[in-house]
A = this chain, B = another copy of it.
């Protein structure tokens, strides 16, 4: 199914990672006129944005905006290891943290959804798609279903579209097709939509160079979840790693 001028517009938060690219494919398959939205916030894995651009094109997004949030990276650098400006180190080869890990970025999804909301209201979209997942995830509080529910409520109180919805029209809906899926189910879903996962970036701290493309570290929490996902899905992991993944 492809979108047409009469298809409903929607906003898709697109990092360029495995989850958000899967969401992009699902939204496109439903015939939505996808407006993809990415952010450069000084993340260590900024190479994901090149994948985001290629995937947006591949799945027929009618628009793709990449917002410069480099100031956010500077503002939150003392509190997260995930941005280049931070002196904190991305944990590798450790058991996943039982608490919120140091790669958590303060208020990141709240901010991303707020931008998506501004754009959605401007273009007349009702649906905002986001690839949060509450099963095989890093433990970030802003990936939990209760956060999504609260944000959706806030969005409808914050906006003209929300006020009009209270009078009977459709309000803002946060679409989370991955929320209750395990990583291997996400992989299977994406493969059914023809995703080339080799061109997605999950690693929090990739190496590699511009010409060769990114090399995943294979040892951070995100690489761990991704590896397990491919293994349990029973498909070959197309990711290029700095170190070879453990056998099995």
Residue numbers of A with Cβ under 8 A of B are 65, 67-68, 71-72, 75-76, 78-79, 100, 104-111, 114-115, 117-119, 121-123, 141-142, 144, 146-147, 150-151, 153-155, 157-160, 162-163
Contact A114 B118 (CB under 8 A): no
Q: How far is the CA of A78 from the CA of B111 in the complex (A)?
A: 21
Q: How far is the CA of A70 from the CA of B153 in the complex (A)?
A: 27
Task: Say what secondary structure dominates the interface of chain A.
Answer: helix
Q: How far is the CA of A117 from the CA of B111 in the complex (A)?
A: 9
Q: Which 9 A-B pairs have the closest CB atoms?
A: A107-B118, A106-B121, A150-B154, A107-B117, A79-B122, A111-B114, A147-B157, A142-B158, A106-B118
Known: A144-B157, A146-B157, A147-B158. A76 touches B107 (CB 8 A): no
Contact B141 A110 (CB under 8 A): no
> What distance in Å separates the Cβ of A123 from its nearest Cβ neighbour in chain B?
8
Contact A142 B119 (CB under 8 A): no
Contact A104 B150 (CB under 8 A): no
Q: How far is the CA of A144 from the CA of B153 in the complex (A)?
A: 14
- Which residues of the other chain, B, contact A109 by a CB distance below 8 angstroms? 158
Q: How far is the CA of A67 from the CA of B115 in the complex (A)?
A: 14
Known: A65-B75, A150-B150. A111 touches B100 (CB 8 A): no
Contact B71 A119 (CB under 8 A): no
Contact B110 A72 (CB under 8 A): no
- Which residues of the other chain, B, contact A147 by a CB distance below 8 angstroms? 154, 157-158
